[in-house]
Chains A and B, each alone.
Chain A
């Protein structure tokens, strides 16, 4: 007997007899002989539970996580505090181990969670319809492109360079299949170049993609930028950060047709990039083009309120090649984590958290910009993340900060050659004022050391105002 199976030799004998064969090997005879492996896989033998734990704990110990380093890295995923009840609820067998709710009578828990989640996401984004969740952020952006092609019968996308680089690249990858053209519009002063955007959108444009706050942390004027899309009948797709929507005007109030994004900040761990979930909200008229599962309310035969998977005629298992998307398994458990986190924050807490992020971010931005060798990459308004320029090689500065236990931010040069000196710094409620001050000191020291200018080490410039509106 090996792991997780329970057929004893007696069981096997009885079962083989009932089947009418002499050995299990007989059952594998339907595989033509040359295609049978005939030797063990070249993998090690199985290990005990204790040994597996030690092996994986050993690997985990070789990662510098956010317990070990003070994490100012964001770029789409953030080190927020996940309340304890999220773990307690998501680890319940009844949520952890069922399949997709194909049998609604015994899946009311999961279906109602989807319904509650959809309600929360429509409230956050200000759009009336939400799906039950997609894989994650960038692939949700690509799915919006597919929806837009279906809605407009056009195959041209206009994308701001402020949209997350992973989202832009994913949209480009999918567009090879869609047969769509992707046109990029640059940034000016940290914000989407409005004139260039207006010039790029035309009558062949299926959708305009914006992100706010954008990748550089700047809050875009989505309403004003969206005018070009409206004028030409293109859909306006807005990627947003769900932790900022307590304070920022929701995409739905800015004329967006689709609001979507990476859901990780809501109740999900960093997990080196996943699993998290993508949220996807739209206007009423797109409901039959939505990707993925949607839970809907209905009644049972006795008139009891209940929930089912609604509008399944959009989906692959019914519609096959005519489906509005191919997605099947998505991220239901991660959406549950988000729902529990949002219920825990509640109406007041969610707003307060947004305010806290904006104020701490303003403090951090002012504090860091006052450091010798640091200046703001742009002066546009920000909510929870901001971009700096460093007067020393970014990678070397990051390395020096890491040696002091600080992950100082995300090097913008990884994705933006034009910002080779750029550093993106993210703030969460876990990043205290004291930690921000430590970062300022570490950055100043690192830059000074890199410039070989030990005389100025630790010296700050004259104070700058906190945040620039």
Chain B
């Protein structure tokens, strides 16, 4: 593509806020100190003071606003279009939730406030704990973990504490080869050895391999981490047997809740035999993803894991003599693994997710999962009926849950088009591409999760775009290989960014 045909946004080259800085410009006007203007050296020894202030940009407010508004337009976002990013559950983010989170009683509440003056916040947390416990089918919840991977680490440290309490030292944690990368990364951080379990021809855990890995040294097995439905979007029908095997060996069963959106109100991890579950509030429970957070990763656990939950725990103390109940932070938990972070967790996220649960209610949550599953299966069928059926077949041909995985292997072989090329060409059609190259066991994988909040029309439009790209590639595969053309920048040199990292603006 020649530079002559640049779009207006492409013509405007990236300029950082530092490059817009000029000495003497400013936005902030601070209050008068109102106290004597004493030299700092009288207050703090000179050797502890800074000589030169940091070189922050010097820009007036109108230019700051314009700068970040322009930057925002260089992003694609869920409010602008279809975002079928597998495993990420990009469902609508209700603005009501932003409004209630911004109420001063939430937004300006200090985390160290005396519980007697934070009863509303603690009750909200207690109510959210109860709701998540019911949805997960496990009685005890800690809201403390900050995101899914933090929940995983919590779960593994709980596992460690549980075994240690029984006088056992176990060293291995099993996870399928389809698992999220965070699973094995958390395993190592928790001081365990990660052991991979194979996948069978139906997309579930390969039972013989699981048995072999357990039988090799049952006393070493600390835990099995599973996602169910798994990252192929398939429910593992052997889950009851899997749970029995791991429990017989003495291990815990951990549920990666990234895919909970498939089963809310239909099936509960606790009933499947899981001991520990993390929930991604930024996935199933509508917290906006913010371009990479914030999220929250509460954990729900069974009775035997409860004594080890992080400190502090939100509790409800029954009122005496007709007094109303009191919500409190319980720090007296002698077997607790301790804190995982400061204060009580990402409370602002709790407010949004609780508002979401209140809005949907029991029936609405079940309906959300139902529609998510319907949408995924419909999109899968729509794609299969077109060129994708041959070029981009589904990796495991059965009904899926809330997402499904396609393989671009034939597309690559027959048209010379890699999954990455298809993804980049989709950008020109105004879609966020599905997750690519994950899970690892599917060659040229494309993982599609439409979520319940998309219309049939948007699913149809996506299927039509895939069809059009495949048709176009049959005549001229080079078009997709060079894509995208219309985005603010075109394909970027990621290798250069890693070999010769430039991670800050040079300020001379």
Contact = CB atoms under 8 A, between A and B. Distances in A.
Given A36-B267, A308-B494, A343-B57, A96 B93 contact: yes
Nearest to B63: A343
Given A96-B290, A101-B291, A60 B360 contact: no
A273 B58 contact: no
B294 A362 contact: no
B152 to A, nearest CB: 7
B304 interface: no
B334 interface: no
Interface in B97-118: 98-114, 117-118
Interface string A3-44: 111110001101110111100101111111011110011111
B236 to A, nearest CB: 9
Contacts of B237: 30-32
A320 B502 CA distance: 25
B191 A179 contact: yes
Interface string B71-110: 1111111111001010010111110101111111111111
Given A85-B61, A356-B33, 20 more contacts: A2-B367, A31-B237, A35-B240, A41-B265, A47-B358, A52-B359, A65-B106, A94-B75, A99-B83, A99-B289, A106-B488, A129-B503, A135-B150, A166-B342, A298-B493, A326-B188, A344-B28, A347-B53, A382-B44, A469-B44
Interface residues of A, number: 213
B342 A362 contact: no
A326 to B, nearest CB: 4
B385 A18 contact: yes
Contacts of B504: 115, 118-119, 122, 128-130
A73 B112 contact: yes
The residue in B50, B118, B286, B342 that gathers the most chain A C-beta atoms within 10 A of its C-beta is: B342
Contacts of A183: none
Interface stretch (A193-201, A287-295, A444-452, A456-464): A287-295
B59 A306 contact: no
B367 A5 contact: yes
B288 A97 contact: yes
Interface string A298-338: 11111011111111110111111111011111111110100
16 contacts: A2-B368, A11-B455, A18-B381, A30-B235, A60-B105, A60-B106, A62-B119, A76-B343, A79-B108, A97-B93, A107-B75, A177-B189, A323-B188, A330-B292, A359-B35, A410-B112
Contacts of B497: 296-298, 308, 310-311
| Range class of the B interface residue count | 35 or more
B34 A433 contact: yes
Contacts of A455: none
A328 B182 contact: yes
A104 B492 contact: yes
B347 A274 contact: yes
Interface string A390-408: 0000000010001000010
B181 A358 contact: no
Interface stretch (B11-19, B211-219, B410-418, B466-474): B11-19
A347 to B, nearest CB: 5
A272 B125 CA distance: 11
Contacts of A322: 188
The residue in A37, A100, A105, A323 that gathers the most chain B C-beta atoms within 10 A of its C-beta is: A105
Nearest to A57: B103
A34 B268 CA distance: 11
B361 A45 contact: yes
A110 B291 contact: yes
A246 interface: yes
Interface in B40-72: 40-45, 47-51, 53-59, 61, 64-65, 67-69, 71-72
